[in-house]
Amino acid sequence: MLTPRQQHCLKGIGIQQWVGRSARDPVAQAALAVEGVAAPTKEALQKDSPEAPLADTPAPPKLDSWDNITQSIHRCEACELSLNCTQKVPGIGSQQADLMIIGEGPGHEEDLKGEPFVGRSGQLLDKMLLGIGLSRSQVFITNIVKCRPPNNRDPHANEVQACAAFLQAQIKQIAPRVILAVGRISAHHLLNSSSPVGKLIDQIHQLPGSDIPLKVTYHPAYLLRNPSAKSIVWKDMKILHKMLGNL
């Protein structure tokens, strides 16, 4: 608002005072231009106007307990896998397990049952464990991704990333003495490596960012297609047994 003295000065130099029109009105904008007064810019109007409230951002899931982890997995819609699966497959087994087995992702039968490693692959895995004196109930079994990729394809990088926090939280909660990475997808993502599984099998690794020993072996599904590799896996299981016994 101009003071009376300012209004008098403007009138004296031939400038008519502009009042009563919104600066956003195009007619008012033109009148200002004729009168020699710069119209307020869009940026200035936005700066002076109150800011619109920010939309609520969903809070990240709390993964500080086993129940919260499992519930968050079941509620997750972070990638397209959640739209096509029958149900989520968080994992199964002992929450105090010394051995944690991590595969790549649920298949058709796992998707239907909600449990990892069932069917022929699961039966073979059970036999592998029994060979070193362990049962399924004594270990914890899960996958890199918790939903079935369509047609059992390899999970995409963004899908693995969407599940990464869940897997990390499961590892933290269980605190296993040893991790067994089963198959190429599991080994590559856990070790951040692209080396062939046959090469990764030859040595004992350590889970990056931790002191947990990690052993790599072939996936049971691979063994069903390539029975000749069973002798290699048996050697891996004997090494795994020694790792568990020496810790």
At residue 26, does pLDDT exceed 90? no
Report whether 94 contacts 137 (CB < 8 A).
yes
Mean pLDDT of all residues belonging to the chain: 84
Give the three-state DSSP class for 103.
Answer: strand
What pLDDT, on a 0 to 100 scale, did the predictor assign at position 58? Answer: 53
At residue 67, does pLDDT exceed 70? yes
Lowest mean pLDDT among 42-46, 64-68, 151-155, 232-236: 42-46
Report whether 116 contacts 103 (CB < 8 A).
yes
At residue 16, does pLDDT exceed 90? no
Lowest mean pLDDT among 39-53, 69-83, 188-202, 227-241: 39-53
Longest dimension (CA), the chain: 104
| Spatial distance between the Cα atoms of 3 and 10, rounded to a whole number of angstroms | 11
**Local confidence band at 15 (pLDDT 50, 70, 90 cut-offs):** low
pLDDT for 72-93, tens place per residue? 999 999 999 999 899 999 999 9
List the structure tokens of 124.
């073979």
Q: For residue 95, with 0-12 CB atoms within 10 Å meaning exposed, 13-18 middle and 19 or more buried, which class applies?
A: exposed
List the structure tokens of 86.
């029958």
What pLDDT, on a 0 to 100 scale, did the predictor assign at position 4? Answer: 60
Mean pLDDT value across residues 169-196: 96
| Spatial distance between the Cα atoms of 86 and 171, rounded to a whole number of angstroms | 25
pLDDT for 187-203, tens place per residue? 999 999 999 999 999 99
**Local confidence band at 41 (pLDDT 50, 70, 90 cut-offs):** low
- Domains of the chain plus CATH, in order, are 4-48 (no CATH), 66-246 (3.40.470.10)
What pLDDT, on a 0 to 100 scale, did the predictor assign at position 19? Answer: 52
What pLDDT, on a 0 to 100 scale, did the predictor assign at position 64? Answer: 87
Q: What does the chain come to in residues?
A: 247
What pLDDT, on a 0 to 100 scale, did the predictor assign at position 62? Answer: 83
What pLDDT, on a 0 to 100 scale, did the predictor assign at position 5? Answer: 55
Lowest mean pLDDT among 3-7, 208-212, 229-233: 3-7
**Local confidence band at 180 (pLDDT 50, 70, 90 cut-offs):** very high
At residue 52, does pLDDT exceed 80? no
Question: What pTM value is reported for the model?
Answer: 0.75
Give the three-state DSSP class for 180.
Answer: strand
Mean pLDDT value across residues 115-136: 95
